[in-house]
Amino acid sequence: MADSEPTGGIGFFEKWLSVWVALCIAAGLILGNVAPGAFEVIAGWEYASVNFVVALLIWAMVYPMMVNVDFASIRHIGDRPKGLIITLAVNWLIKPFTMAALGVLFFEVLFADLISPKDAQEYIGGLILLGAAPCTAMVFVWSQMTRGDATYTLVQVSVNDVIMIFAFAPIVALLLGVTDIAVPWETLLLSVGLYVVIPLIAGYVTRQQLMRHADRLEGGEEAVARFVGGIKPFSVIGLLATVVLLFGFQGNVIIEQPLLIALIAAPLIIQSYGIFAIAYGAACAWRVPFNVAAPCALIGTSNFFELAVAVAISVFGLNSGAALATVVGVLVEVPVMLSLVAFANRTRRHFPAK
């Protein structure tokens, strides 16, 4: 499976991506407070807690990587099981439990004098929901930014999704100490369909057409690389627009309760960097190739926030601390993940190329 070099077209955007994201965060906060009605309308365009505007933007981000997926190479994934083993171990044996432990440490010990016991329990519940829901969609974006193996990333995400169907509710019930967690199947299945299946089919059809019509002077893989390079700017635009929307949706909450947002964000940030360090360190020690190591660490770090938010609302209520905690997870994720992508790209040389 080739680890192709990026094709031109967005070098300027990539170089200053952190600046653009910071500007979009500021724009989202300002617009969310200046024109909250517009964001309320957009937020209403959803079904089963999945917002269709965000879905369109995620398609723009995910589609270029899906074009790179080589189905003929999937059968060789078993020849390199290390990345998949790390992904599954981190996501299901480590991450939910460390997130629960951090939640208890921060809200029952460190922040005990700042938050009421009832609110503390709800914030812990929200953190647990995030910790038990590994990412489905955005990880394709992070993988693409590290030039990850598109085919391997697809398999990692797909296996995670299958396990999540069976393991999410029992793990959450265990950690929350209850037994009646209702998994919103509409949200789970709709998200997988929108963020994985549809863009994957579109990418497959596009790839087949490019391979079929490549001329003798340009091979099929070269045609695919040129096409992906040409549409990559839309991926960056989709990411930036998503940042504006996410921060715009919660602009008033962030402005009105900055201290509370910071308190909730603290364990989430520590969890994110800690989980990445575990997975990335294990991949480095196990000599996993970089184009597999980076995505496998990023998958464990990123969260399936649509599912977490939906369950928080259904179990704890729309205005609950748990729902707020899952939303803070959304706001924290993009800046944190971009910093980890940058770190991974800077440390690429410490991993085998293949």
String of DSSP letters for 132-157:
T-B-SSHHHHHHHHTT--HHHHHHHH
Amino acid type, 253: V
Spatial CA neighbour of 48 closest among 157, 202, 182, 154:
182
11-19: long-range contacts (C-beta < 8 A, 24 or more apart)?
A: 13/233, 13/236, 14/145, 14/236, 17/236, 17/338, 18/338, 18/339, 18/342
Model pLDDT for residues 61-76, shown as the tens digit of each residue: 778 877 877 777 667 6
Give me the pLDDT at residue 99, please. Answer: 94
Residue 26 lies in a domain: yes
Spatial CA neighbour of 111 closest among 328, 277, 311, 260:
260
Residue 59 lies in a domain: yes
Distance of CA 46 to the CA centre of its chain: 19
Helix (H) / strand (E) containing 103 = helix 95-104
Which residues of the chain are under the pLDDT cut of 70?
1-16, 73-74, 76, 178-183, 215-219, 314, 317-319
Residue 6 lies in a domain: no
Give me the pLDDT at residue 280, please. Answer: 96
Q: Would you tell me how many other CB atoms lie within 10 Å of the CB of residue 259?
A: 8
Q: For residue 145, what are the contacts with CB-CB under 8 A and spacing of at least 6? A: 14, 341, 345
Give me the pLDDT at residue 349, please. Answer: 92
Give me the pLDDT at residue 164, please. Answer: 83
Q: What sign does the dihedral 78-4-232-222 (CA atoms) show?
A: negative
Task: Tally helices (H) and strands (E) across the chain.
Answer: 17, 2
Burial of residue 231, with CB atoms counted within 10 A of its CB: 0-12 exposed, 13-18 middle, 19 or more buried: middle
Residue 4 lies in a domain: no
Give me the pLDDT at residue 3, please. Answer: 39
| Tally of structural domains, the chain | 1
Helix (H) / strand (E) containing 336 = helix 321-346
Residue 331 lies in a domain: yes
Residue 5 lies in a domain: no
Domain that holds residue 292: 11-350
Amino acid type, 25: I
Radius of gyration for the chain, computed over Cα atoms and rounded to the nearest angstrom: 20
Give me the pLDDT at residue 190, please. Answer: 81
Residue 6 dihedral angles phi and psi, to the nearest 5°: -65, 140
Domain CATH code at residue 189? 1.20.1530.20
Token pair for 108:
């029952």
Residue 96 lies in a domain: yes
Contact between residue 68 and residue 150 where contact means Cβ atoms under 8 Å apart: yes
Give me the pLDDT at residue 106, please. Answer: 95
**Which neighbouring-strand residues pair with 47?**
50
Q: What is the largest CA-CA distance in the chain?
A: 71
Give me the pLDDT at residue 86, please. Answer: 94
Residue 254 dihedral angles phi and psi, to the nearest 5°: -65, -40
Token pair for 89:
């171990």
Contact between residue 330 and residue 202 where contact means Cβ atoms under 8 Å apart: no
String of DSSP letters for 225-270:
HHHHHHHHHHHHHHHHHHHHHHHHHTHHHHHH-HHHHHHHHHHHHH
Residue 252 lies in a domain: yes
Predicted TM-score of the model (pTM): 0.79
